[in-house]
Amino acid sequence: MPRDPVVSPPSTPLRPSTTTRRLLGGAALVAALLAAWWFGVANPVWSGASLPSSPVSASAVMSQERVQVDPNAFDGGIAWINTANRIKLSDLRGKIVLIDFWTYCCINCHHVIPDLEYLEKKYPNELVVIGVHTAKFDAERDTENIRRKVAEYRIKHPVVNDADQRIWSYFGVRSWPTLALIDAQGRFVGRASGEGHREALDEVIGKLIEEARKDGTLNETPLVFTPESDKPHDGKLLYPGKVLADAQGGRLFISDTGHNRIVVTNLEGKRLDVIGSGATGFADGSFETASFNRQQGIRLVGETLYVADTENHAIRAANLTTRTVATVAGTGKQTYHRGWGVRGPAKTTGLNSPWDLVKIPDEDRLIIAMAGPHQIWDYDFSKGEIGLWSGTGREDIVDGPANQANYAQPSGIDFGVDDQGPAVYVADSEVSGIRRVDLKTGTASTLIGRGLFVFGDVDGPLAQARLQHCLGVAFDRGVLYVADTYNNKVKQLDLKARTIITLVGDGQPGDGEEPGRLYEPGGVSVAGDMLYIADTNHHRVVAFDLKSRQARALTLEGVEPPARLRVKPTFALAKTLDAADTPAPLTPGGSLRFQVTLPLPEGMEFGPDTAIQYLIESINQPKLETFGEVRPPAETVAFDLTLPTDFVAPAEGLRLVVSVGAFVCQKSQGFCQPRSRIFNVRLIPNAEAPAVVELQAD
C-alpha cells in the first residue's frame, strides 16, 4: 500500500523527481541543455530580489542581453569554507563564475562533484566555482558539519553556508543540485537543475571565455584557495564509512573510505592486513597496488570480501587468500538505466553509486543498495549477472510490489528472518526510513519513515518514531541496529515489539575523546555481544558491549595512514632572479641550508593553513634534487639540501635552480594568489665558507 504523499512546507525547497533528473544522450543532450541554460530578463535586479527565469535563445544571451547580479548576493551566507575570508562577487570580476547549489546528503550533488573538478582543471585560470550549501536536514545547517563533508569529498573550491536560504532564494533555486553561471562582467547567464550537465557546461563556459577574452574583460590571473582536504591528517583512519565484524574468523573489516582502502584487524584492533594502496583509482591487482574510490559497504563470502566501490560505480572482490582485488561488476563509469527489468552481464553493466551490499544465505547472491538510482539490485556471482531487483527509480517512499516500490537513496542493507519470513532491511537515508523488503517477492514495506522532508529524533513506537538520514543497519536476533547518522546516534529497533530506543550517543558530536558520543556514524555490525560502529566523522571505530552497555574506542595496533604521494611542486607566474655567486662548502655527504626571504606585499598575508613550497634542482648535476614544504609560512624560511656521499663538485661550481612559492591573500578577500620566485644560483666550492645560502626576493 502506498505511503502518505510527501508534503513540503512552503519555506522548504523541493528536490526534483528522479524523472526530471534523467538525462538525454549524445548530441541531443548538448542541444537540449544549451537551450535550457539560457535565461534573460528585462528589468534590473536589486539587492534581495530573485533573479527571473524567462527562457530565451542562446543567440539572445550571447548578444549580451543579461542582467547584472547584485555584488552582495553572497552576503546571505553565514560562514565560508576553503577560503581565507568571505568572498564577494565583485572580488571575482573578470572570472566566469559557476555556482553549485548543493546539500551534502544528496547523492545527485555527489555526482556533480567530478564534473566540477573536470571543469576546474580544464579552465584553471578563467573559471571559479563557488559552492552554495543550502541544507535539507537540520544537521546540514551546521558549519562544522559542512566543513567536514567538504574535506571528506575533497572539494577544493570555496563553499558558503547558506543556512538561511537567502542565496538560494535570490537565485530562484528550487532543487538540488542546481548550477548557475555568471559571466566575466558579473551578469547572470542561466541555471540548470540536476546532474549530467558536463558537456553543456563545458561548451557554454568555453563560449563565455572566448567572449570575455575578445572584449578584454577576462581575468586570467590564477586564484588559490585553502582547501580543508589539503590540511594534514595523520590519523589511522579517515572518514570510515562502514565496518564488518566476522565473528567466526575473529576479524574486523573497516572500510577506511577517506583513505580508499580496507583495513583488516582482529576484533581487538590488531592489524592483520590492508587492502588497497590508499590512492584514489580504479585498479585491480595485489592488495598493495589495487585502488578504490571512496568505497563504502563490505561483505564477506567465504574468503572473498565484496566491496561496494561507490565512486567507481563498481563491485570489487578481494580474495583474502591470494591477496588480490578484481572488479566483478560495473564498468567504472556511472550509468543510468531506464525502465523495469534491467539485467545483464555483471562486468559490462554500468552501475550507479552502490553504497552497501549483503549476502543471502544459501544463495550465490548479493543484494545491493544502489543509492544513485534509488533502487535495490541483486548480483548473482555464480552466473556473473546483475540487475534491478526492487524499485522504480523514483525518489520517494512508496510501499508495494518490486516494480512499484520507491526508495530514496538506500545506503545501508542487511539480511534477517522475522515473523514474516526472510527479508532484507534497508536504511533508506533520504526519507530517514527503515524499509523491509520481502526476499521472495521484492515487495517493500515501511517500518519507519513518512517522506522526504519528514525527519527528527523520536524514539518509541515505530509509527511515531523519527530518524535523520540513517545510513547503516544491522540485523541480529530479532533486533535491528540503526546508524541514525545525522542524529549522532545508534538506535535499537525491536522488530517484535515494534519500538525503537537510543542505544549509543546523546545527539552531541563531542570532541572524539568520549567513546559514548558519536559523530555522524555511517555503519554498524554485530559479532556476538559486541556492536561495532563506524564513527565516521571521528575517524574511528567504536566497540559497544551489548551486555554491559559500555562503549570504548577501538585502539588500532600496527595500522598507519597511507604514505602521502609526494608531488613535485610547480610555481605559477614565477619571477626569475639571478643570485650572486656564493661560496659554500660542497662536501660529499654534507648539508647546505638555504635561507630564503620572500617579503609580503603591503596589505597581504599568507593564506591560512598553507605552506611555503620549495624545489631545488641542479643544472650540472641532474640527479641532485629535493623538494618539500615549510609550515607555517613566514617571510623567511629555511630548508636543506643534502649532497650525496659520492658527490664531486664541478669545476665551474654547482649550478642550482631554487624555486620558492607561497600563497598570499589580501586581508579583506577570501582568495589567494601565488607569489613565486625562481633563483639561479651558482655555488663556488670553499671549504671555509658557511654552509648557509641566503636568498632575497624583491
> Nearest-CA neighbor of 506 among 553, 464, 459?
459
The owner of cell 602521502 is 564
Report the candidate in 398, 466, 463, 471 with the shortest Cα–Cα distance to residue 429: 471
- Span 110-126, pLDDT tens digits: 999 999 999 999 999 99
How far apart are the C-alpha atoms of 464 and 681, rounded to whole Å?
A: 74
CB 223, CB 50: distance < 8 Å: no
17-21: average pLDDT = 33
Confidence of residue 38 (pLDDT cuts 50, 70, 90): very low
Whole-angstrom Cα distance, residue 285 to residue 276?
A: 9
pLDDT score of 669: 67
- Triad 131, 136, 140: Cα angle to 5°: 70
User: CA quadruple 165, 536, 457, 310: dihedral positive or negative?
Assistant: positive
Residues 6 or more apart whose CB falls under 8 angstroms from that of 66 comprise: 40, 183, 187, 188, 189
- The pLDDT tens digits of the residues spanning 150-187 come to 999 999 999 999 999 999 999 999 999 999 999 999 99
Three-state DSSP class for 636? strand
Least confident of 58-67, 205-214, 247-256, 636-645: 58-67
CATH dotted code for 575-696 = 2.60.40
Q: How far apart are CA 271 and CA 556, in angstroms?
A: 7
* pLDDT single digits (tens) 306-329: 999 999 999 999 999 999 999 999
User: 53 pLDDT band (50/70/90 cuts)?
Assistant: low
Q: Do domains 242-332+344-553 and 575-696 have the same CATH topology?
A: no
Amino acid 108 reads N
Asked if residue 539 lies in contact with residue 522, where contact means CB atoms within 8 angstroms, the answer is no
- Say what the alpha-carbon torsion angle 54, 59, 62, 68 is, to the nearest 10 degrees: -20
The Cα 94–Cα 579 span in angstroms is: 36
Residue among 561, 557, 479, 562 at smallest CA distance from 267:
557
At 30 the pLDDT is 38
- pLDDT band at 330, cuts 50/70/90? very high
pLDDT at 50: 52
Distance set, CA 399 to CA 343, 412, 422, 434, 482 (Å): 23, 18, 17, 12, 20
Q: Is the pLDDT of residue 435 over 50?
A: yes
Instruction: Return all residues near 385 (Cβ < 8 A) that are at least 6 apart.
Output: 343, 344, 345, 346, 379
d(CA 30, CA 36): 10
Cα(140)–Cα(131) distance, integer angstroms: 14
Question: Which segments of 297-432 are extended strands (E)?
Answer: 298-301, 304-309, 314-319, 324-329, 343-345, 354-359, 365-370, 375-380, 385-390, 410-418, 421-428
pLDDT in tens, 567-589: 788 887 789 999 999 999 999 99
Does the pLDDT at position 35 exceed 50? no
Fold of 242-332+344-553: Neuraminidase (2.120.10)
Per-residue model confidence (pLDDT) at position 9: 28
List pLDDT tens digits, range 460-496: 999 999 999 999 999 999 999 999 999 999 999 999 9
Task: Work out the pLDDT band at 394, boundaries 50, 70, 90.
Answer: very high
From the CA atom positions of the chain, what is the Rg in Å? 28
Q: Encode pLDDT of 405-427 as tens digits.
A: 999 999 999 999 999 999 999 99
**Structure-block grid coordinates of residue 421:** 519470513
DSSP 15: P
Q: Is 522 left (phi over 0), alpha (psi -120 to 50) or beta?
A: alpha
- Write the pLDDT tens digit of every residue in 277-287: 999 999 999 99
pLDDT mean over 81-86 = 89
Q: Are 337 and 318 in contact (CB under 8 A)?
A: no
d(CA 83, CA 158): 6
CB atoms within 10 A of CB 511: 9
Cα separation, 398 vs 408, in Å, equals: 10
Map out the domains of the chain as residue ranges. Answer: 18-230, 242-332+344-553, 575-696
Element (H, E) at 208: helix 198-215
Name the residue with higher pLDDT: 392 or 55. Answer: 392
Fold annotation for 18-230: Glutaredoxin (3.40.30)
Q: Is the pLDDT of residue 452 over 90?
A: yes
